Amino acid sequence: MSGLIPYLLFPGNAAEALEHYRDVFGGELQLVDYASAGRADGPADAVAHGQLSGPVELAGADAGADDDAVQMSGMFLSLLGTADASKLTSWFDRLSEHGRVTDALQKRVWGDYDGTVTDRYGIRWLIGFHDED
């Protein structure tokens, strides 16, 4: 059994968002559209289920007619220590493209590095690593 896997509902751009996360993190992406899933509560080509498997696991879909799209308030998706420093720095930089850095990736008084970014899809990330010196 793996750890917690966030499941995000997007406002009609799930395929684009999940493909972006595959490009950032790597891994394999599977997408199933509404038509294939037998859903009639949205466009046939909308994503009924998407799963990114790899170094970072995410799942998501296009929000249905009665669903709310994800809104990040009072939380982050945390990638603290989930890879080496160079990989985490690369992920931070890639997620910040067309997004907004809230708190730059930097060394903290306790010796570790971390920073926060809101990506182009409105998802908030906390990324950091232990100082390897």
pLDDT tens, the chain, 133 aa long: 467 899 999 999 999 999 999 999 999 999 999 999 999 888 999 999 999 999 999 999 999 888 889 988 899 999 998 899 999 999 999 999 999 999 999 999 999 999 999 999 999 999 999 977 5
Closest to 29 measured CA to CA, from 37, 17, 19, 20: 19
- Residue 40's pLDDT is 87
- Cβ atoms of 121 and 13 closer than 8 Å: yes
Rounded distance, CA 57 to CA 29, Å? 10
Closest to 123 measured CA to CA, from 66, 61, 70: 70
Rounded distance, CA 132 to CA 123, Å? 28
